[in-house]
Amino acid sequence: MPVHMDSVKDWEYVDLFKYRTFFYRNENSSHIARKSLVAALSTHIICKYFKLQYQVYINYYISLIQPSQTLQASPVHNNNSQFGEMAATDAAPSTYDRTKAIKEFDESKMGVKGLSESGITSIPEFFIHPPQTLSDLRSSSRSSPGAVPVIDISGINSIADRPNIVRQVRDAAKSWGFFQVVNHGVPAPVLDDTINAIRGFHEQPHENKAKYYKRQEGQGVMFASNNDLYRTEAASWHDSLQVWMGPQPPVSEEIPEVCRREVIAWDGHAKDVADKVMELLSEGLGLEPGMFRELTFSDARTLVGHCYPHCPQPDLTLGITSHTDPGIITVSLTNRVPGLQVKHEDDWTDVDPVPGGLIINIGDFLQCR
């Protein structure tokens, strides 16, 4: 079952579209995802879910990490006093009101990036995770370059090459739940433009992003920090831009102008890659190539752009807590900065993003328990 977590000190991490089993960790960060194996999926299981009318999603995940010292200071520095009251101190007062602190943070609409840029030296108490949680996620990892399968899908339309590609995708999905695809058909300039556009959104002044800050999920555009802020035991150190691209896409004017063109373009390219991968997965399960398309699996799509900014106390919190992802598949784009880890068997394994590659994460919906 996929899970992932993040926390960052010297790097800023922005990602878009996550789903499956992965764990990001650089020297001062951790981003965890646990994976369950895809065994066999029968037509009966597909039909069972289909008849129950689950709304299943394809997710796009784009990640960008850049040295935090290159970021420009923003006007949020003017709000030190407000966040100073929420920050954890060496001796937290017994009168600490967690609900009030969370509400103040949420209503500021600054997110953790604004909080980070306000100059705090300690994080708000509601971001601090229990020692047991942190210790469980700090298991040793092993670097295995190339361990996570890398699959060239350029021959997908070749009668001679396609059977081998189907086999590789099937085996990777079954044993890892993660793999990278290269020669997928998305032009390199599109990959670069998408990353730069998501960075551009998160680096805007607070007042520009605040217009999109809300907690109404399911359609349109939403910018917020921690979807589960009011439900979780400990908040995580990230902000998110979310755009629901289907089944009912937003009016283009709703998408922030700074990334509007790129988000719309990426949706088309990423959907094409997702459709190709689902065809291969379907064939690998002994089904017709177009089975998933007929079941409208690619109609519901979500773009999620996470930002994991500099954290003054990275050892006390996580960028995203360990979790599994419930969608069909995720198409992930990174700027190739190391940090992603996958739990394979009993070890966390580094994923080394390949140039121009996209990381595919098999969602829980396609897994047998």
pLDDT at 201 over 90: yes
Q: Are the C-beta atoms of residues 33 and 330 closer than 8 Å to each other?
A: no
d(CA 321, CA 133): 9
Residue 78 domain flag = no
Q: What are the CA-CA distances from residue 236 to residues 85, 120, 185 (Å)?
A: 19, 16, 35
How far is the first Cα of the chain from the last one, in angstroms, to the nearest whole number? 9
Rounded percentage of the chain residues whose pLDDT exceeds 90: 48
Residue 160 domain flag = yes
Residue 190 domain flag = yes
Which residue, chain included where needed, has tokens 């121009």? 356
Residue 309 domain flag = yes
d(CA 45, CA 52): 11
d(CA 341, CA 5): 10
Residue 166 domain flag = yes
Domain total of the chain: 1
- The whole-model pTM stands at 0.77
CATH code for position 173: 2.60.120.330
Instruction: Compute the average pLDDT of residues 141-152.
Output: 72
pLDDT at 188 over 90: yes
**Top-ranked range on mean pLDDT: pick from 22-31, 107-116, 354-363:** 107-116
| pLDDT tens, position by position, 160-172 | 999 999 999 999 9
| pLDDT tens, position by position, 263-294 | 999 999 999 999 999 999 999 999 999 998 88
Q: Are the C-beta atoms of residues 319 and 5 closer than 8 Å to each other?
A: yes
In this structure, the strands spanning 301-308 and 239-246 are antiparallel
Q: What is the pLDDT of residue 72?
A: 23
Per the structure, the complete domain to which residue 262 belongs is given by 53-66+150-347+354-368
Residue 10 domain flag = no
Residue 168 domain flag = yes
Residue 27 domain flag = no
